[in-house]
Amino acid sequence: SRRPAPFPPGPRGLPIIGNVFDVPTQYQWKTFAKWSEKWGDIMSVNILGQRMVIINSAEVATALLDRKSSIYSDRPHMVMIGEIVGWTRIVSLHNYGPRFRETRRLLSQMLGSRDKVAALAPLLEAEEHRFLLRVFRDPDSLVAQVRKAAGAIILMLAYGYEVADGEDPYVAIVEKAMSEVSAAATPAAFLVDFFPILRYFPPWLPGGRWKKNITEYTRDLNAMCDIPYQFVKQRIAIGSFTPNFTSRLLEEKLTAEREQLVKDAASSLYAGGSDTTVSTVTGFFLAMMCYPEVQRRAQAEIDSVIGTDKLPVLADRKRLPYVHALCLELLRWNPVAPLAIPHVMSQDDHYAGYHLPKGTAVMANVWKFLHDPATYVDPFEFDPGRFLSSDKKSAEQDPRSYAYGFGRRICPGMYLADATVFLAVAMSLAVFDIRKPAADGVEMQPNVEFTSGVISHPPPFKCSIKPRSAKAETLILSADMTL
Ligand code: HEM
């Protein structure tokens, strides 16, 4: 009659509601990091009866989420946004099973290696060049232009769709659905996720008010999945299309079920890839304002290796070690997904004397891993030199080991993201001087605290972006705006 192994420790909660009042609604990763001092690298909380394990060390995340990924790869059951609105059709919310594996296989065929993404270089380079021109024309619309470039790349890859120069109707459709899901995916945004019984309450009862958004959210999700897909089919029918992810899969005769899978896989690309790179590239402009010496050093490297007559291209990455290190530091400084996406266990497990039952949601505190002073010296400083063995005694850990998640759920777009961020950073540094704006000769000091949320973004900021020289301006203006 041995006692069963315990669950990982954590703050003592209240009966029934557990740790609802202990877990903050904002910046949970900072609280979890602080709690690790008391509860250790693997701890737990209980939210209204749902047990969640929080991993505060990279070693534990690797031991569980990477090495035992066959049992740590399911996703949480989200009643409102997943089941009722229908976002379970997008791979990030798929349960671990055959549909998930097939979708990942299809995504991997296009984006699953550095070489596959290298083959997309002409498209990525042309799109980032257009980004430079749009920012040059209207520097105050920086964030909108970063968003447009990310959307343009994914819409071209997924559907062969070319975004319009001004407002684009397809970008607007997908952005609307995306903004709704990110608001709704905030932990505890909908009580129905914890009390599924509420789904049977009529909308006019207090417990049923959340229902008012369902129709709009469902309509917008369907539009995001269906409208670009119909576009591809129409273009194929008239025989005029740029080959893309969807058109390639439509070459075979599809059953209705297979067609649904292809459509959802294509939408998953946009869902996973639009907001994420936007955060990193926008964060780059904020970092360059705040760390001018980093900007000068990166520009000096570009000028000496590439010269000033042409823009850097993807193949130049190896020759630009400091710019490469700068891209790594962007991923580390403010990770896009500070808690990644929770993994759920599909079998019981034991680890470090603890019993972890099937169904437990496991959160990796990526933010903590990337700000751990044992791994990164002065973790709150923005210092690309930390990744160069020429600057430090030994280079610090590559943040890509954690920033893109773990195991079988690791980001399927990571090579694309890596290439896109590099191009946006290297090309912008080649032509722009990025500074804090000044009012009456006094520089404004930006807020550098990124937002809370599943995807963490830089706060709104103003930025002065000007061509570095007349030659740089000529380079920017040479962008080909007609595909
Ligand atoms: C800087 C950019 C990016 C970062 C930091 C990032 C990071 C992440 C992270 C942390 C996850 C969760 C992994 C896990 O659960 O362990 C994820 C999932 C995902 N990402 Fe990315 N990502 C980025 C860009 C992209 C791009 C460009 C695409 C697509 C083209 C993409 C598509 C996806 C998809 C579809 C998933 C869900 C995978 C699944 O649940 O199996 N991501 N990403």
| Mean pLDDT to the nearest integer, 145-172 | 92
50 band by pLDDT with thresholds 50, 70 and 90: confident
Residues forming beta bridges with residue 55, ordered by sequence position: 42, 364
- Write down the pLDDT at residue 72: 98
- Neighbour tally for 166: CB within 10 Å: 6
Nearest C-alpha neighbor of 248 from the set 260, 227, 234, 262 = 262
Buried b (16+ CB within 10 A) or exposed e, 389-408: eeeeeeebbebeebbbbbbb
The model's pLDDT over 315-357, given as tens digits with 9 standing for 90+, comes to: 999 999 999 999 999 999 999 999 999 999 999 999 999 999 9
State the average pLDDT for the chain.
91
Domains (ranges, CATH) in the chain?
A: 71-335+370-477 (1.10.630.10)
Whether residue 224 contacts residue 177, with contact meaning beta carbons closer than 8 Å, is answered with yes
Ligand 1 centre to CA of 419 (Å) is: 14
How far is CA 398 from its chain centroid? 17
Is residue 1 scored above 60 in pLDDT? no
224 band by pLDDT with thresholds 50, 70 and 90: very high
Give the β-pairing of 343-344 and 361-364.
Answer: antiparallel
Q: Ligand 1 test: best mutation among 89, 117, 276, most atoms within 8 Å of CB?
A: 276
431 band by pLDDT with thresholds 50, 70 and 90: very high
Ligand 1 centre to CA of 477 (Å) is: 33
Is residue 438 scored above 70 in pLDDT? yes
203 dihedral zone (left: phi>0; alpha: psi -120 to 50; beta): alpha
Which residue has the least CA distance to atom 1 on ligand 1?
277
